[in-house]
Amino acid sequence: MDICAVVMAAGDGKRMKSSHSKVVHQVAGKPIVKWVYDALCEAGCGEQVYIVGDKQEEIRDVLGEGVAYVFQEQRLGTGHAVRQAEPFLEGRGGYVIVLPGDSPMVSAETINKALSRMKEGDYAAIVITASAEDPTGYGRVVRDDNGNVLKIVEHRDCSEEELKIKEINSSMYVFKTPLLLSALGRLSASNAQKEYYLTDTIGILIKDGGTVGSIICDYEDTLGVNDRYQLMQANKIMNKRILRKHMMNGVEIVDEDSTWIHSAVEIGRDTIILPGTTIMGNTIIGEDCIIGENTRLESVQVGSGTTIDYSVASEAVIGSNCRIGPFSHIRPGTLLKDNVTIGAYVEVKASEIDEYTRARHLTYIGDSKVGKNVIFGAGTVTCNYDGVEKVGCTIEDNVFVGGNANILASVVLGHDSYIAAGSTINQDVPALGLGIARSMQKNKENWVADRNRLRGANYIKLDTRRSEV
Ligand code: UD1
Ligand code: MG
């Protein structure tokens, strides 16, 4: 059987009020049109043609060159859009699946159901419909007394009676290809929007004596994204589905309302996701981790047994049994091996940190290579910018860095060395040595009494205003 698909994706998307094509807006981290493409591929339909408009580059960037594109110069409606695919459809028998590019919830299951229904009887077309609690804006499916589809009427063209119909057109169809071609040639634009409606092909096929069947889906599976509110709704529905899938796979999710997980994310069993957590991009998390609360991970790889608490990490690799947070920032290009501890107000950028190393408080490590079992005292800073370029330092195994030390660009701290607290280290420190770089302390005996500066019980009085002390 010759089966191909036409996806309408050239619309201006006026209701989105965006400078971008409507169909590249993301739902659960994936462009809307990519959801459609993936559903078609999963349903086994590899031959796809996309009707694109002025923003076609954005769509081509998403889908690549594995599909065909047809440019619709003027946006004269969905019927006009599909007509642009005529050269692609002419001479073909079999079925054509027609989908809107703005319906991310479409699934392979729905497409396959429509194809099976088509094969069951002698149908000219199958319309996929749904019952909407609020059908505003959708085309309505008008049926005769026997329940057969008669026509589809767009919201703006509906009579009072038709407006009451709750069954909506999803804009997803399967047609017999030659019959679709014959109906497309007979569309007119005599309607409220002065557009060529694809929906009118249904009435034409029935007038021709054909039968149009339908399958009724869940409203959520047909949701079209036309404005930002529907985009939010689609994200919410898709997110709940993704969370459910992870829960069924053994991931514990404490609060589905405040947890957001993108479609490509993978999570191992017995990992717990605490509230307020967003997991984005191609993040992969191992087993037995605790992530959150209030954490954002974007394209991060996390080993098993790691905890990440109130932190932000992106494009980084975090090993197994690491302790991250609270309030850590792990930036792109970072590689943390196993059993590393990164604590409060610690930022790591493009650095490699080996096993069992600990930076528990107030530290910045940038562009550096750090060995095993290193300890960073509070307030350590790698001064990785020499004013011209970013160059980190090298800290070998078992180094102890005292509090508030600055390690300048390119410096090498040899293995098992100590750095005295408060030092600014601008030269290499030899292995097993001590690096100290601070002025000697002087104590002045009785200085306070001599200067009459005793503070005693001179407490500061609190002001009644909250902002003042
Ligand atoms: C369409 C249907 C409506 C259905 C709804 C479901 C028509 C006339 N109406 O309305 O019955 O209930 O979808 O979501 O078909 N497009 C083009 N070129 C154009 C116009 C549109 O490629 O000239 C594309 C758009 O990019 C979009 C799709 O076709 O992806 C549907 O167009 P849209 O304007 O969103 O139609 P709806 O008003 O949603
Ligand atoms: Mg739409």
Q: Which residue has the tokens 């005793």?
A: 454
Our answer on whether the CB atom of 10 is closer than 6 Å to any ligand 1 atom is yes
Bridging pattern class, strands 26-27 and 30-31: antiparallel
Ligand 2 centroid to residue 170 C-alpha, Å: 9
Residue whose C-alpha is closest to residue 397's, from 416, 411, 369 = 416
What pTM was estimated for this model as a whole? 0.93
Write out the H or E segment, with its range, that includes residue 239. Answer: helix 228-248
Q: Which pLDDT score is estimated for 464?
A: 77
CA–CA separation, 370 and 351 (whole Å): 8
CA of 102 to the centre of ligand 1 (A): 8
The residue ranges of the chain whose pLDDT is under 50 are: 469
From the CB of 100, is ligand 1 less than 6 Å away?
Answer: yes
* Ligand whose nearest atom lies closest to the CA of 23: 1
From the CA of 196, the nearest ligand is 1
The answer, yes or no, to whether the previous bond of 47 is cis (omega within 30 of 0) is no
Of residues 198, 195, 169, the one with CA closest to residue 185: 198
State whether the Cα torsion 14-16-20-21 is positive or negative. Answer: negative
Query: So what's the pLDDT on residue 387?
Result: 85
Q: Beta strand 290-291 with 307-308: parallel, antiparallel or unpaired?
A: parallel
Ligand having the closest approach to the CA of 54 = 1
Q: Is the peptide bond before 326 cis (omega within 30 degrees of 0)?
A: yes
Chain centre to alpha carbon of residue 247: 19
pLDDT of residue 461: 73
Say yes or no: CB of residue 226 within 6 Å of ligand 1.
Answer: yes
Kindly report, residue by residue over 451-467, the tens digit of the pLDDT. Answer: 998 888 777 777 777 76
Spans of all domains in the chain: 3-222, 250-450
Q: Which pairing describes strands 3-9 and 167-176: parallel, antiparallel, or unpaired?
A: unpaired
**What's the CA gap between 367 and 381, in Å, rounded?**
12
d(CA 293, CA 307): 10
Ligand 1 neighbour 298 (Cβ under 6 A): no
C-beta 77 within 6 A of ligand 1: yes
Annotated catalytic residues are 361
Say whether 384 sits in a helix, a strand or coil: coil
Residue among 21, 25, 78, 230 to mutate when testing ligand 1 (max atoms within 8 A of CB): 78
Residue 51 amino acid letter: I
- Measure 336 CA to ligand 1 centroid, in angstroms: 48
To test the pocket of ligand 1, the residue of 171, 216, 220 to mutate (highest count of ligand atoms within 8 Å of its CB) is: 171
Distance 145 CA to ligand 2 centre (A): 29
Asked whether 9 lines ligand 1 (CB < 6 A), one says yes
pLDDT of amino acid 268: 98
- Half-sphere exposure of residue 299, counting CA atoms within 13 Å on the CB side? 8
DSSP character at residue 107: -
Locate 250 and state its tokens. 């053994």
Q: Which helix (H) or strand (E) holds 59?
A: helix 56-63
Ligand 1 pocket, residue 170 CB under 6 Å: yes
What pLDDT score does 468 carry?
57
| Beta strand spans in 158-238 (E) | 167-176, 212-217
Domains 3-222 and 250-450 share a fold: no
Can you say whether the dihedral through the CA atoms of 382, 352, 261, 269 is positive or negative?
A: negative
3 state DSSP class of 151: strand
Widest pairwise Cα distance in the chain: 111
- Return d(Cα 291, Cα 275) in angstroms, integer: 9
DSSP label of 429: B
Architecture of 3-222 per CATH? Alpha-Beta Complex (3.90)
Tell me: the pLDDT tens digits for 341-376? 999 999 999 999 999 999 999 999 999 999 999 999
Atom of ligand 1 nearest to the CA of 169: 12
CA distance from start to end of the chain:
80
**Could you give the C-alpha distances from 327 to 147, 228, 261, 374, 426, in angstroms and in order?**
60, 32, 20, 21, 29
State the DSSP H helix or E strand holding residue 448, giving kind and residue range, or none if neither.
helix 447-450
Index of the ligand 1 atom closest to the CA of residue 101:
30
Ligand nearest to the CA of 52: 1
169 lines ligand 1 (CB under 6 A): yes
Contact status, residue 232 vs residue 134, Cβ threshold 8 Å: no
**Gap from CA of 365 to ligand 1 centroid (Å):** 51
CA angle 88, 89, 90 (to 5 degrees): 100
Q: Which fold does the domain 250-450 belong to in CATH?
A: UDP N-Acetylglucosamine Acyltransferase; domain 1 (2.160.10)
Tell me which amino acid residue 379 is: G
Q: Residue whose CA is closest, atom 25 of ligand 1? A: 11
Return the bridge partners of 334, or none.
none
